[in-house]
Structure 1
Amino acid sequence: MHFSFKSSHAVLPRLLVLAVAAMLQACGGGSGGEALPSVGSASTGGASAQASLGAKIFNDMSLSASGRQSCASCHAAETGHAGANSLAAQMGGAMLDLQGGRSSPSMRYLSSNKPFQIAADGTPSGGFFWDGRANSLQDQAAKPFLNPREMANLDAADLARRLAKASYADELRRMFGEDIFSRPDEALARVALLLQTFQMESAEFRPFSSKFDQVLRGQATLNEQELRGLALFNAKDKGNCAACHPSAKGRDGAFPMFTDFTYDNLGVPRNSALSQNNDPTFYDLGLCARDGGDLTAKPELCGKFKVPSLRNVALRKVFFHNGGFTSLKEVLNFYVTRDTNPERWYSRGADGTLNKFDDLPAAYKANVNISEGPYNRKPGEQPALSDAEIDDVLAFLGTLSDGYKK
């Protein structure tokens, strides 16, 4: 069932659009543009030996049990280092026949992320993966090698045996000692550190080369539709996207990451394309059920997942932790009609009763965000964005894709 809503750009005051345009002009850094802060600037010098070796590891399929999967297999450059296809979760395992449990998030711009923490007010932030269970890029990089549904090495010794046969094995020996492969735990840690170094140094993981970056440098301008989209993106009574995806430069002049690095529970619909969901009693509870069980005593975190950066979002093939959406326009439609037209998104029980927030057990449905716009509306009310306004926001989101050329 598809709903269509009447378009009216008059709903968004033209003064607001003009104010956004003026703000962006003020952000310009002169004819040469404003220099980016060190944590968010592309490397201009040659890559270090460690980063170059990390790049080889990142692209090496021989390090997986299947021999057909590398880091790059699930984090493709053409999608902003997110999943390369529209599968809800990528296939892995020794036979490449096991489906993962979550979509592959983008690996771009993670150098500005921080370790996981919970603030005094209870707000979780930082961390890597959808549930923040890794506290550094190194920690994150190590885990897929031993995940039975990913690269599926049996243990660190299994990985060390593969490393010893790699074309760059002698480089590893020279860098870490002739006996590095007889110290498998250290070999795994060193490999993960090399991957972290590659991501920290390589311009491809933080190029800041989108049209919006050029606008912030004063070297490009948004067209009228993109300006309307940005205004709608920021407006609290419209998209309110900036509440979790800030679009303004930081106080230190840092370019925006389009994430506040926090976690949210959006009541995303259950995705039947995930094999784990064949079990009707299974629920992916995110933060409160992550590996290690360190947050099981905090039920208020159940169903919360990391707020991703929207940089390169228009390049992605799937969206949300469960890969339940394959169209960015569909995502925006979900945001604004989740509560006004819930029947559009959720399943019904045997008695025909609508099961809103159907990917959560009843005990945790109260954790879903229903207080912030556009989620604070009631069935039958007008959605916060019309079809035409959604198209405007999509046009703006397209300016966040790296590789812009005039």
Structure 2
Amino acid sequence: MSLRPNTLPAGNDSNASAAKRSPGRAVGWTVAVLAAGCAAFAAYAVTYPERMPLAIGTIVEDITGANPQPVQLLIPPPAPLSAVAQLGRNIFYDASLSASGKQSCASCHSPEHAYGPPNNLAVQLGGPHMTEAGYRPPPSLAYLYRQAPFSIGPDASDMDTAPVTLQQAAASAADVQRAVKTAGVAPAAPAMVPQGGLFWDGRASTLQDQAIGPLTNPVEMANPSVADVARKLENAPYLDQFKKLFGDSIVNRPGMLVEEAMFAVGRYQFEDASFHQFTSKYDYWLQGHARLTQAELRGLRLFNDPDKANCAGCHLSKPTLDRLPPLFTDTQYEALGVPRNRNLPLNKDPKFYDMGVCGPFRSDVKDLTQYCGMFLTPTLRNVATRHVFFHNGVYHDLKQVMDFYNLRNTQPEKIYPRDASGKVQKYNDLPRQYQANIDSADAPLDRKFGDQPAMTDQDIQDIIAFVKTLSDGYKE
């Protein structure tokens, strides 16, 4: 792009001729032209602020869609799987380990769907006859290789000090005001909310623990006991792999056999590059190898804008200081107040509430009621490939998700149902005594009833266009 500010209009324009004859008049004429140009540019900026570059120095890069500040990301290099991980791969795809004989880890965490659910069901079917509805939509197993164990508060600096219990950590933070999450700023202080862990409620701290859970869950793989799982492993075609790795005596210790099997599954998830590919268009753009479209650039700006979408307040979009690629999650927990999914079998009971961190599927934090209604912030990588969103699967496309954030407070009648009297039942999936936990401080959820929504429909379409750049498998 060439602005060519010193080029005068062609032809017999009298002002141009006069400028040539008189240096003084030339200066005045040039100033007038520049002033008019600046005024026009300012008017355009006011009318179309989303089209303006972040800085003058990035005009060319923004117009072309290139990243003005590319970075070389530190991505785990591909390597052959260890023997333990190869064993874990066999176990991951083994449906014979379920009571039905039809369900493996890959059934709910499909590699063809970014290790998320393979369909648009709100919850998956399992159980002995594959007829039992699950409790929550399966989260993706991708991009968990840097997930820390569940905790509340910072790690202890003195390793010889007795660890602080969750109850002690929560009590110390009980009277501290929650830090507001803002895009472009460091995540909220870890003492304010829980962080880390696996599952929607963080009840598993390692990939091994996460893999064990579904084996005996009555609505998933539905084995009556760990001993039943061990007997199936003893008859598996890969038993010799076990013996080579852990010794022949492993078959005489059923508990240890299952533990080692799920350790192997965890190693497979950690080592296999397909679980953390970093091959999205955004990854290539960060490194200067791809160009974003104008819609994607506008979506990125809105995603990071602390006064607009503010998505990056929780879904961190920038590489770390040591050049690790962003995971698009701060791994913390939020109470968002999504509407109740009345189609879930569990929700047929009007007294049942899924309150995330404080129950009902974990019990160690049930008394820390300041966390009721909080669920883990998932990664947005590959989120455009999903068909089910939030912990209860209430939404089935990204437009619905964005409308929720945009209209929850400003036009709640478009988000929540009405009761028999016509009153909007806002926050209808959390008991009233815990609704103060719901986030109303972070944009765009800080708007009030009747306010202008933070995003226009065009903004939402642009954000969705950007989010689609987070899907793996982009071809340069």
Cα distance between partner residues in 1 of 2:419 and 2:49? 38
Question: Of 403, 411, 414, which residue of structure 2 is paired with 1:341?
Answer: 411
Q: TM-score w.r.t. structure 2 length?
A: 0.79
SS at match of 1:179: helix
Q: Does 1:403 align with 2:473?
A: yes
Equivalent positions of 1:243-282 (< 5 A) are: 243-282=313-352
Asked if 2 retains the 8 angstrom alpha-carbon contact of 1:78 and 1:315, the reply is no
Cα distance between partner residues in 2 of 1:9 and 1:156? 64
1:9-38 Cα offsets, whole Å, 9 max, x none, are 824251338759579735424xxxx241xx
The one-letter amino acid of 2:317's match is S
Asked if 1 retains the 8 angstrom alpha-carbon contact of 2:51 and 2:298, the reply is no
Q: Does 1:76 align with 2:114?
A: no
Change (3 A) 1:332 1:167: same
Instruction: Tell me what 2:161 maps to.
Output: none
The one-letter amino acid of 2:304's match is N
Q: Which moved more, 1:165-174 or 1:96-105?
A: 165-174
Asked if 2 retains the 8 angstrom alpha-carbon contact of 1:60 and 1:70, the reply is yes
Asked if 2 retains the 8 angstrom alpha-carbon contact of 1:89 and 1:99, the reply is yes
Q: Which moved more, 1:13-22 or 1:378-387?
A: 13-22
The one-letter amino acid of 2:117's match is G
Structure 1 stretches lacking a partner, 5+ long: 1-7
Q: In the TM superposition, what is the alpha-carbon distance from 1:170 to its structure 2 partner?
A: 1.7
Asked if 1 retains the 8 angstrom alpha-carbon contact of 2:304 and 2:312, the reply is yes
SS at match of 1:15: coil
Q: In the TM superposition, what is the alpha-carbon distance from 1:87 to its structure 2 partner?
A: 0.8
The one-letter amino acid of 2:50's match is L
Q: TM-score w.r.t. structure 1 length?
A: 0.92
Cα distance between partner residues in 2 of 1:165 and 1:17? 64
Equivalent positions of 1:228-307 (< 5 A) are: 228-307=298-377
Q: Relative CO higher for 1 or 2, CA cutoff 8 Å, sep ≥ 6?
A: 1
Q: In the TM superposition, what is the alpha-carbon distance from 1:181 to its structure 2 partner?
A: 2.8
Cα distance between partner residues in 2 of 1:355 and 1:35? 46
1:306-329 Cα offsets, whole Å, 9 max, x none, are 000000000011000111111011
Question: Of 268, 285, 293, which residue of structure 2 is paired with 1:215?
Answer: 285
Q: Does 1:112 align with 2:112?
A: no
Change (3 A) 1:135 1:381: same
Cα distance between partner residues in 2 of 1:13 and 1:217? 23
The percentage of aligned residue pairs carrying the same residue is 46
Asked if 1 retains the 8 angstrom alpha-carbon contact of 2:73 and 2:324, the reply is no
Equivalent positions of 1:26-45 (< 5 A) are: 26-29=68-71, 34-36=72-74, 40-41=75-76, 43-45=77-79
Asked if 2 retains the 8 angstrom alpha-carbon contact of 1:146 and 1:156, the reply is yes
Change (3 A) 1:27 1:152: farther
Cα distance between partner residues in 2 of 1:288 and 1:46? 41
Question: Of 29, 32, 48, which residue of structure 2 is paired with 1:10?
Answer: 48
Cα distance between partner residues in 2 of 1:107 and 1:296? 26
Instruction: Tell me what 1:310 maps to.
Output: 380
Cα distance between partner residues in 1 of 2:131 and 2:67? 51
Change (3 A) 1:152 1:14: same
Q: In the TM superposition, what is the alpha-carbon distance from 1:333 to its structure 2 partner?
A: 1.1
Structure 2 stretches lacking a partner, 5+ long: 1-45, 154-172, 174-190
